[in-house]
Amino acid sequence: MKLLDYVSAIEQADTYKYYGKVLRIVGLMIESLGPQANIGDVCYIRTSNNEKKPILAEVVGFNNERIILMPYSEVTEIGPGCIVESTGKSLSVKIGRGMIGNVVDSLGKPLDESPLPKGMADYLTENAPPNPMLRPPIDEPIQVGVKAIDSLLTVGKGQRVGIFAGSGVGKSTLLGMIARNSGADINIIALIGERGREVREFIEKDLGPEGLKKSIVVVATSDQPALMRIKGAYTATAFAEYFRDLGYQVNLMMDSVTRVAMAQREIGLAIGEPPTTKGYTPSVFSVLPKLLERSGTNEFGTITAFYTVLVDGDDMNEPIADAVRGILDGHFVMDRKIAERGQYPAINVLKSISRVMNQIVDREHKEIAGELRTILATYEENRELINIGAYKRGTNQEIDRSISYYPKIQAFLKQDVFEYRTLSESIEAMKELLNGGIN
Crossing angle of helices 226-245 and 257-270, rounded to 10°: 130
The DSSP 8-state label assigned to residue 200 in this structure reads: H
Tell me the pLDDT of the chain averaged across its residues.
Answer: 90
CA 346, CA 150: separation in Å to the nearest integer?
15
At 439, the pLDDT band (50, 70, 90 cuts) reads very low
Mean pLDDT throughout 303-329? 88
Report yes or no: 267 and 321 within 8 Å, Cβ to Cβ: no
Mean pLDDT throughout 243-247? 95
The DSSP 8-state label assigned to residue 110 in this structure reads: B
Would you call 213 helix, strand, or coil by DSSP? Answer: coil
At 327, the pLDDT band (50, 70, 90 cuts) reads very high
Domain boundaries, the chain: 14-90, 93-361, 364-435
Distances (CA, A) of 136 to 26, 133, 150, 232: 47, 8, 22, 28
Query: What pLDDT digit, counting tens, does each position of 186-226 carry?
Result: 999 999 998 888 899 999 988 988 889 999 999 999 999 99
- What does the H/E/C string look like for 126-145? CCCCCCHHHCCCCCCECCCC
Q: Does domain 93-361 have CATH number 3.40.50.800?
A: no
Look at residues 322, 351, 346, 349 and name the one whose alpha carbon lies nearest to residue 336: 346
Report yes or no: 98 and 119 within 8 Å, Cβ to Cβ: yes
Q: Does domain 14-90 have CATH number 2.40.30.20?
A: yes
DSSP result, 236-255: HHHHHHHHHHTT-EEEEEEE
Q: For the structural domain made of 364-435, what CATH number should be given? A: 1.20.1270.330
- pLDDT over 60 at 1, yes or no: no
- pLDDT over 80 at 117, yes or no: yes
Strand 55-63, strand 347-354: pairing: unpaired
pLDDT at 438: 44
What pTM was computed for the model?
Answer: 0.91
Query: At 23, which amino acid appears?
Result: L
